[in-house]
Structure 1
Amino acid sequence: MIPVRNASKRSYIILAIIIIIIAIGYWLFASFYKPALPVKMNSPAFSLSDLHGETVTEAQFDGKIRLTSFIFTRCPDICPATTANMVALQSELQKQGQFGNEVEFVSITFDPENDTPEVLQQYAERMGIDQSGWTLLRGDENKVKDLASQYNLSIVRLDDGLFAHSITSLLLIDGKQRVRQIYRMGEDMENEQIITDIKTLLKEQQRDS
């Protein structure tokens, strides 16, 4: 006969082992399903015009990863550097067959007075923008500023007619209209990290579909 004290001790050991196994299992489960890119905010609704005067809303990007920048074509430094980096990202995604299919780019001007459809078209051609997967949008200046403010971005018109704006105005948005990452613009853009984050969201979408 097993002494009661030993039996009780063995029961506690077995119970402790079970609790440890459950805790490890929960930790592994949580780690596996925890989003690598946390949701920062919901991406607000918008209604703007493309270069053909057609209305574009956020719903047209449902189910696709979207990299969105706020720019103006008269910008002397940050905006063209950002667009050039996005063109490099565009090329990489084209090689993977994902550009325009699973991933789209959007650039929104906050200087509609100068950035007419013709000016934006010239900008696209000059910078190498592939409009099959990259949409350039414009709208009323105050309307765009309000949209930017909902992303916690600041845009201020200066006395010379140019603009000062947040240098963190590059947004990675998932197919469920949620902002997952916000990047620095210009020469400091980390293209490799952006590609990695895009791939992370693509895998997440495949897993959830």
Structure 2
Amino acid sequence: MPGARNSAAATRPRALVATLLAALGLLVGFIALVGQVTRGFEYWTFEALRRDDAAGARLLARPVELSGPYGAPWTPWPGSTGQVFLVDFIYTRCLTVCSALGAEYTRMQRALRERFGADSPIRLVSIAFDRTHDTPAALRDYGITHRQEPDLWQIGTPVDAGAQEALLRSLGVVAVADGMGGFVHNGAIHLIDASGTVQGIYDLERWPQALERALALAGVGRP
């Protein structure tokens, strides 16, 4: 019937408009969500987001008990007032990023020894996360390779697997098996104060800036 056909024809544009409006609403909502997640479209990677959180003192490292090749287990933070930690995450079989981090920690250790002797307010901490292979012997060998001095630089594995996962999650540290027996992970230096608050995250080649900021945070500044 002509009237029915005309009515159906008139309904189709209205349905199309409604569909377009609904799609537009979804698009606007998606853009708003992306803007919120990326903090105003400023940070597009998870690493950038966690570094922004660190710069704003919004990352809190969960306390963790560590076990190393020397002495009894210990918990780095919370620490005494004025104590500061420079923390990295490694696995001892790593021949790339972890080896480079070890070399930078050797340099920082030397600088701290020359200035403070054994009484440094800055403590270097390397946390090994490969619970299968980072044995006390492996930790000792890693330390020997990089000339670790235990009174300045502590190397250990979390005693408890659950506490390890909680620490990694609290800092946004990711360690993913690479399918070749190793891990892809964050290769950075974390500046952590006595309360466990992360005050900055630095790429390994920026260790001088990390050390300088740690000295300032400890209240000793430059010599």
TM over 0.5: same fold? yes
Describe the superposition over 1:97-117 as per-residue Cα deviations: whole angstroms up to 9, x where unpaired: 166531111111111211110
Q: Give the drift of 1:48.
A: 2.6
- Using the size of structure 1 for normalisation, the TM-score is 0.70
CA contact (8 A) 2:175 2:183 kept: yes
Percent identity between matched residues is 24
Q: Give the drift of 1:196.
A: 1.7
Matched to 1:122, the amino acid is D
Describe the superposition over 1:137-194 as per-residue Cα deviations: whole angstroms up to 9, x where unpaired: 11355642432121011111232221111233x2111123211011123xxx213212
Equivalent in the alignment of 1:83: 102
Equivalent in the alignment of 2:60: 42
Q: Give the drift of 1:199.
A: 2.0
Q: CA RMSD in A?
A: 2.3
Report runs of 4+ in structure 1 exceeding 4 Å deviation: 140-143
Change (3 A) 1:141 1:176: closer
State the distance in 2 between where 1:76 and 1:107 align.
Answer: 15
Change (3 A) 1:155 1:125: same
CA contact (8 A) 1:43 1:177 kept: yes
State the distance in 2 between where 1:53 and 1:154 align.
Answer: 29
Equivalent in the alignment of 1:135: 154
CA contact (8 A) 2:125 2:154 kept: yes
CA contact (8 A) 1:70 1:109 kept: yes
Equivalent in the alignment of 1:198: 214
Equivalent in the alignment of 1:67: 86
Give the SS at the match of 2:98.
helix
State the distance in 1 between where 2:87 and 2:153 align.
Answer: 10
State the distance in 2 between where 1:103 and 1:122 align.
Answer: 23
State the distance in 1 between where 2:135 and 2:120 align.
Answer: 27
Give the SS at the match of 2:126.
strand
State the distance in 1 between where 2:99 and 2:85 align.
Answer: 19
Equivalent in the alignment of 2:131: 112
State the distance in 2 between where 1:204 and 1:40 align.
Answer: 24
Residue 166 of structure 1 pairs with residue 182 of structure 2: no
CA contact (8 A) 2:78 2:195 kept: no
Q: Which structure has the larger Rg? A: 2
Gaps of 5+ in 2: 1-54
Question: Aligned residues, how many?
Answer: 165
State the distance in 2 between where 1:105 and 1:115 align.
Answer: 18
CA contact (8 A) 2:102 2:146 kept: yes
State the distance in 1 between where 2:185 and 2:179 align.
Answer: 14
Q: Give the drift of 1:38.
A: 4.9
Give the SS at the match of 1:43.
coil
List aligned pairs for 1:89-100, cutoff 5 A: 89-97=108-116, 100=119
- Using the size of structure 2 for normalisation, the TM-score is 0.66
Gaps of 5+ in 1: 1-36
Q: Give the drift of 1:65.
A: 0.8
